[in-house]
A and B are shown apart, each in its own frame.
Chain A
């Protein structure tokens, strides 16, 4: 499918900012098209000689094939002094970008909180989808009360987890680049309270999470994400994936989706 206006006008991550070659740069795929990314006097991207809108955010280069009309979404935690910022690179997966985000939402560890009604608050704003845990978890090892996940972009999710610092959350951003409708590159970027763990261990732990999920994601049927609410029977544990699909459908998002109303 040709990407529609909404998909074209989005920002997408296309490279790590620290890993940009000088001109003529490197080829990258975006929405089924080939672009070149490079850094000369600042980072840039072009498609067939046409300069594309670019932005630097969260240590990545973002590009758009259309006219975004806004800056890439912010991750305020990433600006807090003392946090350790870790870019984990990208893993390619033969599935639509939406499937990677949905799968991350399905794994948000809130299942135990379901017993308490209204323990999880889901907020579907026009621009963003949020899930917040409203009660502190009695059991150790789980997330404290507070934000759990944020979807600021159809192909990106911010996951909040317990950190080594009381009252603060570690942040894992899943930034997915749709290479075309059926394949994607999943970038991970983390903002952590951690001064001890070796960098390579942090990166490999994050890569392993995605790599474990990859075979399942590549074998989902249908490959495209169904947005029709009549598809399948949702249970309470599907709260976030269902909210995500509904949020996409309400935005009229179609790229990588099927059966959108």
Chain B
């Protein structure tokens, strides 16, 4: 029985479990939800599944997950790929948790700005942009410091892990909301490294790297 993903193709949050599943080779049964224009994720049938009315939702038997960090960890373990969970030492494991929590702020700031720009959702665009840019600078600084130390291209060093996948989609799609990534060279390199991973799947606005 495959895990079932309730999905909207244009949602960067929904890309997170799809990308994780593809990278570790877990087949998903994907159910499209008419989030726009139908707002099906706010209709009673969907709210019975996820009272928060958010996408994505991942189910596997009785298990219902509505938070993307939980989905990433679940899919990595389901595939027996503990390497994707990140380092095991106290500081490394804590940094993974730090980035997972950080990623929800990106959903609000860069994600909110993107919905405002693409769908015309009401928002204080200037405030969201300011918050989004602060977050981008934080990611840029972390990636640049890791590289300067010679420790690798990814958030936790040499290997990508669930922290990268939690942070990546809203950062990479910031231009959809009118925030350019030109000023963030370490982020752009990191995005390329993720897009080059075997099994990478993208979404509209975020294609895989062209194969040479």
Contacts and interface: CB of A to CB of B under 8 A. Distances in A.
B209 interface: no
Given A92-B117, A92-B120, A212-B204, A207 B34 contact: no
Interface stretch (B36-44, B56-64, B100-108, B152-160): B36-44
Contact of A207 (B10, B33, B40): B10
Report the contact-size class of chain B (Cβ under 8 Å from the partner).
20 to 34
A205 B175 CA distance: 21
Given A91-B118, A91-B119, A200-B33, A211 B38 contact: no
Interface of B, helix, strand, loop or mixed by DSSP: loop
Contacts, number: 62
A203 B38 contact: yes
Contacts of A34: none
B32 interface: yes
Contact of B32 (A87, A89, A201): A201
Given A208-B204, A211-B205, A199 B34 contact: yes
B178 interface: yes
A94 B178 contact: yes
Contacts of A199: 34, 38
B37 A16 contact: yes
Given A89-B36, A91-B119, A94-B117, A215 B176 contact: yes
Nearest to B32: A200
A200 B30 CA distance: 12
Interface residues of A, number: 24
A198 to B, nearest CB: 6
Interface string A158-171: 00000000000000
Interface of A: 16, 19, 87-92, 94, 185, 198-201, 203-205, 207-208, 210-212, 214-215
28 contacts: A16-B37, A88-B37, A89-B119, A90-B37, A90-B119, A92-B118, A92-B119, A92-B120, A185-B120, A198-B32, A200-B32, A200-B40, A201-B32, A203-B37, A204-B9, A204-B32, A204-B34, A207-B9, A207-B10, A207-B36, A208-B9, A208-B203, A211-B204, A211-B205, A212-B207, A214-B118, A214-B176, A215-B175
